[in-house]
């Protein structure tokens, strides 16, 4: 669904609330030409106590950390951005939504050096259902191992959520969809499993849980961190610095993706290999995840900011 069909009309840009149509940038903005921006994807869930933003602090922290290697100065404190987000949600009367903060080098000159380009900071919120589809949450998705590899972290910081990195995600995802799959799995330069184009990956084998470690060219997902905590609290052993070979995908008992957009989505097939319907451990973790984010439990309350 396009933005025009959504009931949203306000964007926060550089300290001000502006009309949706007025949130414009110049075509010669540095960030547009060179992908020199950083962003976040955050969810706000509908709960009994009203809209609740999931793990704002961790997302804001990742935004500032992502900006560091690029020397992109974000002149707003986390609290200011959080308050702007809450105000956007209140003003537009949203009960649940996706939140997209972005900061990038703006308009001044187009040398590769962004030295005089100002930082543009904006936040938009809009209603957005689960990324890979409601049906996918229950029945799982079919995925294709991409012919494109992830950038090595010696080539570009893959643990930073940088706009330019997402052309790799786009190539992998579109290739998979062109072949009739819903999403891709992307291997790292060594040929081991990294992640999805916009998701982390978890594997279940013999009752234990594995997810690629931070040295495997992944983004350290906030959902990944949350699922690791939830799974351990449920009593599972989680190997969170695993190296997973491509072949291990085929012998997994269960596989699932995690991400702000995709939430917890089971994977039922990888290329020609059937993994199976949503497995019991995936189902338990997924159901616990939704109990947590929709606040049907008091636990993990410090993960939420009530709007």
d(CA 120, CA 44): 23
Using an 8 Å Cβ cutoff, are 283 and 139 in contact?
Answer: no
Given a contact cutoff of 8 angstroms between Cβ atoms, the answer to whether 125 and 100 are in contact is yes
- CA–CA distance, 119 with 104 (Å, rounded to integer): 5
CB of 260 to ligand PMP, least distance (A): 3
In the complex, the smallest distance separating the C-beta of residue 21 from ligand PMP, rounded to whole angstroms, is 27
Residues 205-224 that bind ligand PMP (CB under 6 A): 219, 221-224
Report the site for ligand PMP in 178-197 (rule: CB under 6 A): 195
Range 23-62, binding ligand PMP (CB under 6 A): 41
Q: Is 68 a catalytic residue?
A: no
Q: Which of 13, 144, 150, 161 is catalytic?
A: 161
Residue (188 or 223) nearer to ligand PMP, CB: 223
Nearer to ligand PMP, 117 or 192 (CB): 192
What angle (nearest 5°) sits at the alpha carbon of residue 159, between those of residues 37 and 30? 15
| Site size for ligand PMP (CB under 6 A) | 14
DSSP strand E in 20-107: where? 37-39, 42-47, 50-54, 97-105
Q: Enter the tokens of residue 156.
A: 């570009």
134: how many CB neighbours lie within 10 A of its CB? 9
Q: Does residue number 259 form part of the binding site for ligand PMP (CB under 6 A)?
A: yes
Which 114-173 residues touch ligand PMP, going by CB under 6 A? 169
Residues that bind ligand PMP (CB under 6 A): 41, 169, 195, 198-200, 219, 221-224, 258-260
- Residues serving a catalytic function are 161
């Amino acid at each position: 669904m396009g933005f025009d069909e959504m009931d949203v009309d306000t964007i926060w840009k550089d300290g001000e609330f502006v009309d949706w149509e007025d949130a414009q940038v110049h075509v010669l903005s540095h960030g547009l030409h060179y992908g020199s921006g950083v962003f976040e994807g955050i969810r706000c869930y509908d709960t009994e106590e009203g809209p609740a933003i999931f793990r704002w602090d961790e997302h804001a922290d990742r935004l500032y950390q992502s900006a560091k290697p690029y020397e992109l100065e974000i002149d707003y404190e986390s609290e200011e951005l959080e308050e702007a987000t809450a105000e956007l949600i209140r003003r537009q009367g949203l009960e649940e939504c996706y939140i997209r903060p972005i900061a990038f080098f703006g308009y001044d000159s187009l040398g590769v050096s962004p030295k005089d380009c100002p930082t543009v900071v904006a936040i938009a919120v809009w209603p957005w259902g689960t990324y890979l589809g409601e049906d996918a949450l229950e029945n799982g998705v079919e995925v294709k191992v991409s012919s494109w590899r992830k950038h090595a972290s010696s080539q570009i910081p893959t643990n930073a959520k940088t706009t330019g990195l997402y052309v790799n995600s786009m190539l992998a995802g579109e290739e998979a969809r062109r072949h009739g799959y819903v999403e891709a799995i992307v291997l790292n330069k060594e040929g081991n499993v990294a992640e999805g184009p916009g998701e982390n990956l978890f594997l279940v084998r013999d009752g234990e849980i594995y997810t690629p470690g931070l040295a495997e060219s992944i983004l350290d997902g906030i959902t990944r961190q949350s699922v690791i905590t939830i799974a351990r609290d449920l009593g599972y052993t989680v190997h969170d610095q695993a190296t997973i070979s491509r072949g291990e995908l085929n012998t997994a008992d269960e596989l699932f993706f995690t991400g702000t957009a995709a939430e917890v989505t089971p994977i039922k097939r990888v290329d020609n290999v059937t993994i199976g319907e949503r497995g019991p451990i995936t189902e338990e973790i997924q159901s616990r995840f939704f109990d947590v984010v929709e606040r049907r439990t008091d636990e993990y309350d410090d993960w939420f900011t009530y709007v």
